[in-house]
Amino acid sequence: MKNKEKKVILGYLNHHTIGRQNTFMPLGIGLIAAYSQSRFGNDIDIQLFDDPNAIFQEIPHIQPDVVGLTNYCWNSELNRLVFKKAKKINPSVVCIAGGPEFPRDLKECKEYLANRPEIDFYCYAEGEIAFSKLLENILENISLDLLKSVPHENMMSINPSNGELVKGNYEQIQDLNIVPSPYIAGIMEQWFTGEYSPSIQTMRGCPFTCSYCWTGVNPQNLRTYDLERIKLELEYIAVRMHKYPLVLLSIVDSNFGMYERDEEIAEYIRELWKKYDWPNAFDVTLGKSNYDRILRVNEKLNKRLLINCALQSMNLKTLAAIKRKNLPPDVFVNLQTEIKKQGMGSVTELIVPLPYETKESFIQGMKFVINNNVKLVPYTLMLLKGTDIASQEARNKHQMVTKFRLVPHQFGEYDQQKCFEMEEVCVGTDTITFHEYCEIRGLCFIMSLYSHKQYDVVFRLITESGALMSDSVLYLWDLIKSGKTGLSNLYFQYLGEVKSELWESPEDIKAFYSKEENYKKLLTGELGDNLLRKYLTKARLEKFPESLDLAFHTLPLITNHPLTDEMVEAVGAAKEWMIATRNIGELLDNKYEWKSVKLLSLPFDVNSWYEAGSVSKPLVTYKKSTNYQICYDFTRIDNIFVQLSKIYGTDKTFLIGKMLINYPVQDLWKICKPAS
Ligand code: SF4
């Protein structure tokens, strides 16, 4: 028998002790809330949280009957504290976790739940209907012990009477449109403050089966939301985001741009942009095939997407082991040529160390990437719970060496308890030693630095001189490792932290960071950051002239023929032009006169050469004394800082580092015009 209204708390929690790593509106819990509300109306009172401090503060006042939290590697320890707090306030509260941070092997599932008695149910698949069905039983006031002893759709629990795992049937939602839009239902209103990016989903499922990915090993049918609903949702969001033109739109599909209807969605977004001047930036995981269509989609989105042609590895044996099929190399090369021709940016990802990959095969893959002028985004292999690659079988087969590290900036102190989020990573296999793994991380740092748009002039000059970018970077790597360059210190600091961030067990991490002196280092940002982002940002902001000196120094050393005097002069002019227009480290200097216009005289018209793009003639043919006026578009940059500081905080180094992930670096460059 139903009685009073039940109080439900849903949370998608993110630590933001220093800076905010995740700035997206909590779509997942919004969908769950929207569906439950549509079913139970006034029988339930649902409140949504993303701020851990707020949920700790509110639990004693709300005294919830149900707490549901989404569980990822970056918040699962925090969630445990919240569940424990809720149980302390109300021992009969029903605590439900859901999300990918859960094993797949049933023995491990049982162990997971047995070790976390504060979790009553784990929702191991789609949550909207499963959660509401469980809620229906809770509304009937069925006792918690009885609830846990019988199976519920997509849920697992431990039967209190015998300690056995109870697993409910796996079900998928057939028609996604039965779940109302949480935006249109008014559930997401509290997040339209300019501090959060709206997220939408246009379809669910992925046709691929990558073994290191949760989605890949839990295949779902492809299902779509109606286009009319998506359009209504987008318009609803755009009206509210009009005031925050720089806040990005996130599309959480696994393969956006790959399907015919994505063109219509992109077209509609373009119409919204014309009307509302939003969105101007995107966070999107693009499809892994149908690149013609993806390029058309990007064209419609004002070329604001970075085309990610993720490779992960170029080693065929590795690709077979991780059940992944890449574009054939010649198709990849043609695609990159087309991307450049259309003036778009592109990135690719590589993961190290995957099964069967060797140091040599990984470097081969990196060379291929960088010689095609594609920005490299390298990742260490994460062993995500429930994925094939994290299984005991895979660990044994490939003799994986694994360590633990803090998830970047994911820590905090709540109710006088310190809390740290940790991830397990692979740092060696039977084909890559730990030493080689560290060497590869060092090379990836250099490759990532020089494959960035900030250095695209270097790539063009190297190509014009008939040399290969990879030869230049490998040469640079040797020089940097010799310790005698302006980048060497930074490089060795980076490698030092690559090693010192790894621990044997989660307990070791907790013990180390719980000490006051170490915790302070987390609070100041000295420790605990994403190392690649931290050091790339330092290099780009603090060492730009030094990094250019090095790159230009190697140019004559890697070409097969000596540079003519004219080429040397042209290269010198290009370097001067780059330092004058792209030294974005100046933006950190409070005394720098942003508004001042500088004059630059060069013996070559470098600006026209650059603007002519990849089809231009060589720079030496642009010999012409040219005067430029150079200045920042300070209104635009001020606007960027004001808007993005609401999201990432006021530490400009951190803000620019985060900004360079989803926004074009060109937005920070100076404008260069011929002086009249
Ligand atoms: S394509 Fe992406 S989402 Fe799909 S299985 Fe592979 S990594 Fe996962």
For residues 214 and 385, what is the distance between their CA atoms, to the nearest angstrom? 8
Residue 594 sits in the same domain as residue 546: no
Helix (H) or strand (E) holding 138: helix 128-139
Strand partners, 503: 404
CB 307 within 8 A of CB 290: no
Write down the pTM of the prediction.
0.91
Which of 105, 139, 167 finishes a domain? 167
Query: How far apart (Å, rounded) are the C-alpha atoms in residues 244 and 612?
Result: 33
- Number of separate domains in the chain: 3
Q: Has residue 160 got a pLDDT over 50?
A: yes
Atom 1 of ligand 1: nearest residue by CA position: 208
Residue linked to tokens 């219509």: 264
The average pLDDT across 530-544 equals: 95
Percent of the chain scored above 70 by pLDDT?
Answer: 99
Q: Domain of 157: which CATH number?
A: 3.40.50.280
According to the model, what pLDDT value does residue 4 have?
67
104, part of any domain? yes
**Is the CB of 206 within 6 Å of ligand 1?**
yes
How far apart CA 629 and CA 670 sit, in angstroms, is: 10
Judged against a pLDDT cut of 60, whether residue 625 lies above it is answered with: yes
Length of the chain (residues): 676
Query: Do both 394 and 541 map to the same domain?
Result: yes
Does any domain span residue 92?
yes
Ligand 1 in contact with 254 (CB < 6 A)?
yes
* Domain boundary residue, one of 167, 190, 207: 167
**Partners of residue 346 on adjacent β-strands:** 307
Strands 282-286, 249-256: pairing is parallel
Ligand 1 near 200 CB (within 6 A) = no
In a 3-state reduction of DSSP, which class is residue 316?
A: helix
Contact 302, 266 (CB under 8 A): no
| 284 DSSP β-pair partners | 251
Q: Which of 226-235, 385-394, 590-599 is the least confident region? A: 590-599
Do 535 and 603 lie in a common domain? no
Alpha carbon of 206 to ligand 1 centroid (Å):
6
Domain's final residue, options 128, 144, 167: 167
> What would the pLDDT profile of 296-315 be if each residue is shown by its tens digit?
999 999 988 888 888 999 99
CB of 217 sitting under 6 A from ligand 1: no
Give the mean pLDDT of 344-360: 93
510 and 642 belong to one structural domain: no
How high is the mean pLDDT of the chain? 93
* pLDDT, tens digit, 9 for 90 and up, residues 472-494: 999 999 999 999 999 999 999 99
Same domain membership, residue 627 and residue 532: no
From atom 3 of ligand 1, which residue's Cα is the shortest distance away? 254
Distance 286 CA to ligand 1 centre (A): 10
Q: Which of 540, 537, 576, 570 is nearest to 555 (CA)?
A: 570
Report pLDDT for 169.
96
Does residue 1 register a pLDDT over 60?
no
Decide whether any atom of ligand 1 lies within 6 Å of the 215 Cβ. Answer: yes
Are 641 and 532 found together in one domain? Answer: no
Q: 521 with 409, same domain?
A: yes
Residue 548 lies in a domain: yes
Residues 486 and 557 occupy one common structural domain:
yes
Query: What's the order of all strands across the beta sheet hosting 199-200?
Result: 199-200, 249-256, 282-286
Mean pLDDT, range 380-406, rounded to an integer: 96
Which one-letter amino acid corresponds to residue 217?
A: V
**The pair of three-digit structure tokens given for residue 609, joined into one six-digit string:** 């050469």
Q: How far apart are CA 519 and CA 506, in angstroms?
A: 16
> CB burial class (10 A; 0-12, 13-18, 19+) of residue 115?
exposed
Quick one: average pLDDT of 210-222?
A: 79
285 CA from centroid of ligand 1 (Å): 9
Best mutation site among 201, 203, 204, 206 for ligand 1 pocket (most ligand atoms within 8 Å of CB): 206
Helix (H, G, I), strand (E, B) or coil at 133: helix
Q: Is 540 in the pocket of ligand 1 (CB under 6 A)?
A: no
Residue 622: inside a domain = yes
Once rounded to an integer, what is the mean pLDDT over residues 240-249?
94
115 and 62 inside one domain: yes
- Tell me the pLDDT tens digit for each residue of 354-373: 999 999 999 999 999 999 98
Q: Which domain holds residue 658?
A: 587-674
CA-nearest residue, atom 5 of ligand 1 = 216
CA of 209 to the centre of ligand 1 (A): 6
Contact 208 CB / ligand 1 (< 6 Å): yes
Question: Mutate which of 201, 208, 384 to test ligand 1's pocket (most atoms within 8 Å of Cβ)?
Answer: 208
Question: 611 and 545 in one domain?
Answer: no
Structural domain includes residue 326? no
Does the C-beta of 288 come closer than 6 Å to ligand 1? yes
507-511, 558-562, 612-616, range with greatest mean pLDDT: 507-511
The tens digit of pLDDT for each residue in 38-79 reads 999 999 999 999 999 999 999 999 999 999 999 999 999 999
Would you report the helix, strand and coil content of the chain in percent, each value rounded to 5?
50, 20, 35
Q: Which of 235-239, 340-344, 474-478, 487-491 has the lowest mean pLDDT?
A: 340-344
- Write b or e for each residue in 338-350: b if 16 or more Cβ atoms lie within 10 A of its Cβ, otherwise e: ebbeeebbbbbbb
> 82 exposed, middle or buried (CB, 10 Å; 0-12, 13-18, 19+)?
buried
Residues 554 and 411 reside in one and the same domain: yes
Residue 571 lies in a domain: no
216 lines ligand 1 (CB under 6 A): yes
Residue 261 belongs to some domain of the structure: no
pLDDT of residue 3: 53
Mutate to test the pocket of ligand 1, among 210, 322, 350, 351 (most ligand atoms within 8 A of CB): 210
Q: Is the CB of 210 under 6 A from ligand 1?
A: yes
What is the pLDDT at residue 594? Answer: 74
Distances (CA, A) of 401 to 138, 186, 226, 292, 432: 45, 48, 46, 40, 10
Q: Is there an atom of ligand 1 within 6 Å of 258 CB?
A: no
* 303: in domain: no
CA 215 to centroid of ligand 1, rounded, Å? 6
492, 613: one domain: no
